[in-house]
Structure 1
Amino acid sequence: MYFAGVDIAKRRHELCVIDDSGDILLQLPVENTKRGFEKLLTAFRTKQLTNQNVRFCLEATGHYWIALYCQLKEHEFSVDVVNPIQSDALRNLYIRKTKTDQKDSFILADLLRLGRATSTQLASETVLKLQTLSRMRFEFVSQIGGLKNKVIGILDRIFPEYPGCFSDVFIKTSRELLKQYSSPEELAEVDLTELSDFLREHSRGRIGMDRAERIQNLARGTFGISIAIDAFTLELRLLLQQIEFIEEQIKEIEDAIDQVMEEMRPSDETPYRHVIETIPGIGPVLAAAIIGEVGDITRFKNAKALVAFAGIDATIRASGQFEGTRNRMSKRGSPVLRHSLWLAAVSARRFNPKFKEYYDTKRAQGKHPNVVTGAIARKLAHLIFALWTDNRPFDPNYKWTAGSTN
């Protein structure tokens, strides 16, 4: 049997094939193109290497490995994909801790030869859709957070009193007001009745003259700067427009997610699309993100493995007689899954009676909110694993086995 390791890169991969003894049979650069793959097949034919006597090991570097993986599978090669963390750990076993593409391809082949590679399969089309859409949504939501921080930064300079005028600077009424009257000077000079009517129209009658008077008085006495106002107000309007544009795109993504989730509905009579949607705190969007990142739940041998994959397990610091007491979340694994479980935990601590009781108890004991929320996220991961594995919807009266959510 021969073992082929491929160090993945954007434009050119590095291939190394070794035999059962670990001796190198072939080393070859492989362009990430159709022509490059055909060159690989030609080299294999020269060495009498086939899909019957060669196994491949690829490192899941970004998304660059997927095209090669699909080509190899189409040609019926056996392919294992390893997490970069796993290959890094093996690299440290070698005496000379150098890193080159050729050496890394050898290490991957050796990892396979030694039987230390964990077999991984490309996700199903449905799961891949959910993963792609959820990651895109995650990125867009993050972008909006950055844009909102920039808006607040501008207001801090030109009109620092403004955020106190509304419960949230970014509610619809506030946004429309800032787009129409972007500077405190404009708010100070506008007719008070006109300002009141504007607020009443965009708030559907909830805000009127009292708020208009307050905003105008603050604008007239603002402590904000008076230089470069034109530049700041232009930036403010454009940022608000950009936020609204991305929000429309997020809505489009969520509609697409909803359609894909419908493909997973067991039957027309079933009220849920997936069992994890039945867990209080996990709505369709979070369920889609979790499914997209987890893929096949059977690839995790237990709930602790799922917790570790999400990176919400605690780091352990111990040496000799010393054992650390201030352990932190490891944050190694899928950031989208970790973020989704965290949001689900925040929701669960409010709407799930069992988790709410747990949260209130731990807070009364003096635990930090983030520490308790992290613990709830881990419990949710255990619950997700149990329900998903058994294909059983959530039942608040179900008797959990000892340690099932610890």
Structure 2
Amino acid sequence: NRYSIIALNIAEIYSHPDFVQQEDIDTLTSNIFESTDKGLSTQKAENYALKLYKLARESYPNVNQTSFLVKKVQLLIQQLKNSIQQLSQLDKEMVELSQQLECFEVIRSIPGIGELTTAMIIGELGDITKFKSNKQLNAYVGIDIKRYQSGNTQYRDTINKRGNKKARRLLFWVVMNIIRGQRHYDNHIIDYYYKLKKQPNEKPHKTAVVACMNRLLKTIHYLVTNNRLYDYQMSPH
């Protein structure tokens, strides 16, 4: 991941293959181990070192290690790390601001939705209690159903896409994250997704995800308007 701190730290130190080959495996392992504070194991650091050493040997750079381009890469990496740290601080402030709202803990209680995601949802949807029904919320996001029918011919249903594009993209990402984390928690959104995928007329993946977005919005609207925390046993299965 080119945006992870460990990857950027390694790329900054070893921005030319010659820098790698000038050191032994133990030194490479030690530098990689110290490039992150996320508790990287020694074995994993050594695996990274061996992989890095292999890449360096197979590389054919078109500039030498003293080139200004190598220094430019290092400078760009430093700027990117600074930007990531600044964005991380802004995310933290956004979460702290959102935590002052009653709906924060309600939305946060839905399995698979973390603090930052909760803040982002609140940022895009605003005051959820102003929507009298979940259908109004769906229309605001732009996932209400649009039907075309001419005579006896009925075309496939599509979503409106006239609402908040950013909210629509965010909710798609949220549902995907909920599905990916299914091993760690129970969530009726996951049950609904696989129900749509397994029924006689199996829904395509994207269609099923959009339907889950609809179900998630309905859940959020119900929980927020009733000021209730999520309970899997009470949710519709």
Aligned length: 226
Aligned partners of 1:323, 1:233: CA distance in 2, in Å?
61
Amino acid at match of 2:110: I
1:302 and 2:121 are equivalent in the alignment: no
User: Residue 213 and residue 282 in structure 1: after superposition, are their counterparts in 2 closer, same or farther (change >3 A)?
Assistant: closer
Structure 1: runs of 5+ lacking an equivalent: 1-167, 266-271
Q: Indicate if the aligned counterparts of 1:200 and 1:206 stay in contact, CA closer than 8 A.
A: no
Aligned to 1:19: none
Report what 1:354 is aligned to. Answer: 188
- Higher relative strand content: 1
Q: Assess if the C-alpha contact under 8 Å between 1:312 and 1:378 holds in 2.
A: yes
| SS of equivalent to 1:380 | helix
- Cα displacement (A) at 1:354: 2.1
Give the match for residue 174 of structure 2: 344
Counterpart of 1:355, as a letter, is: I
Secondary structure, counterpart of 1:263 in structure 2:
coil
1:237 counterpart residue number? 74
Structure 1 residues 304 and 210: alpha-carbon distance in aligned structure 2, compared to 1, 3 A threshold? closer
State the TM-score, normalized to the length of structure 1: 0.48
Worse-matched range after superposition: 184-193 or 378-387: 184-193
For residues 319-342 of structure 1, the C-alpha deviation after alignment (integer angstroms, 9 at most, x for no partner) is 4444332x5544322233223322
The aligned runs of 1:104-115 (5 Å cut-off) are none
Structure 2 residue runs of 5 or longer lacking an equivalent are none
Deviates more, 1:389-398 or 1:370-379: 389-398
More helix by share: 2
> What's the Cα RMSD here?
3.2
Within 5 Å, give how 1:227-266 maps onto structure 2. 230=67, 233-265=70-102
1:378 to 196, 199, 214: 214
* Contact residue 188 and residue 217 of structure 1 kept, 8 A: no
Q: How does 1:302-341 map to 2 (within 5 A)?
A: 302-325=133-156, 327-341=157-171
TM-score (structure 2 length as normaliser) = 0.76
- Identical aligned residues as a percent: 26
Distance 1:183 1:330 in 2: 50
Larger Rg: 1
Which structure has more relative contact order (CA 8 Å, sep 6+)? It is: 2
Which of residues 390, 395, 399 is equivalent to 2:226?
Answer: 390
C-alpha displacement of 1:314 = 4.2
Residue identity in the other structure for 2:21: A
